[in-house]
Each structure stands twice: as structure tokens, then as C-alpha cells.
């Protein structure tokens, strides 16, 4: 993988080793992507069959329209803000505790991302009550 010729020097070798470590750290994404793709395809086919069955019965497919009057941009905005705060708190947690850096980052990202989604849920629920 790494070309360790002397003409490249120590810096090139370090950069190559860093790239190799990053690739090793991202190996888990292959099965995750596979299962996400499989789930997505399965979900699309099942949903299509459900819609066709509803059309055959003469019922509208309004069940699948889960539109709320709150903008989806608000959900993604709050979620991204939560992730950003999670990165910041993950850095603080990794720096000032003896916790592993990966665990600190992931735990804070998921925690604050989840808090952002819960906050969106309550905002959407409050907005739905007004109407």
C-alpha cells in the first residue's frame, strides 16, 4: 500500500500510514451501508404493494402522507445544530477526561443529535395543537 522509498521521506510515510489507519477505521461502514441499502429497497417495495392494495380497495393513500405543517428544514437544522454541539462536547470530553476519543465523540454526537430531534418533536406537536 505505502511506497516506502527513501526519496519520499518520513513525512510521506506518516501520511501513508494515516491514510491506511483511516481506511481501517472505516471498514465498519461497508456492512452498515449494505444493510441500509437492503432495508431501503425492501421498504420501497413493501410500501408500493401497500399503496396498490389501497388503490384496489378504493381507499385513498392519504395514510402515507405524514406531512406536518412544520418545515422539515427546521428538523434538519435542529438536528445539525445538535450534531455540532455534540462534536464540541465530544472534544471537551475527550480532552478533559480519560475517555477514549471515539467513544467521547460518538456518545456526544448521538446524545445531542437525539436531543435535537426530540426538541423538534415537541415543537411540531405544539404547532399541531395550535391548528
* Class of residue 82 by CB neighbours under 10 A (exposed 0-12, middle 13-18, buried 19+): buried
Per-residue pLDDT band for 19 (boundaries 50, 70, 90) equals low
69-116: pLDDT as tens digits: 667 888 889 999 999 999 999 889 888 988 888 888 889 999 999 999
Model-wide pTM > 0.85? no
**Residue 27 grid cell:** 471498514
Domain regions of the chain by residue span: 1-65, 67-131
Amino acid at each position: 500500500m505505502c511506497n516506502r522509498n527513501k526519496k519520499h521521506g518520513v513525512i510521506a510515510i506518516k501520511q501513508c500510514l494515516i491514510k491506511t489507519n483511516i481506511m481501517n477505521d472505516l471498514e465498519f461502514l461497508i456492512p452498515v451501508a449494505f444493510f441500509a441499502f437492503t432495508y431501503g429497497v425492501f421498504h420501497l417495495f413493501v410500501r408500493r404493494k401497500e399503496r396498490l392494495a389501497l388503490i384496489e380497495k378504493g381507499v385513498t393513500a392519504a395514510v402515507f402522507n405524514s406531512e406536518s405543517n412544520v418545515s422539515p428544514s427546521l428538523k434538519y437544522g435542529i438536528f445539525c445544530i445538535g450534531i455540532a454541539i455534540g462534536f464540541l462536547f465530544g472534544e471537551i470530553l475527550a480532552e478533559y477526561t480519560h475517555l477514549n476519543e471515539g467513544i467521547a465523540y460518538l456518545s456526544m454526537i448521538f446524545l445531542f443529535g437525539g436531543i435535537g430531534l426530540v426538541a423538534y418533536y415537541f415543537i411540531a406537536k405544539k404547532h399541531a395543537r395550535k391548528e
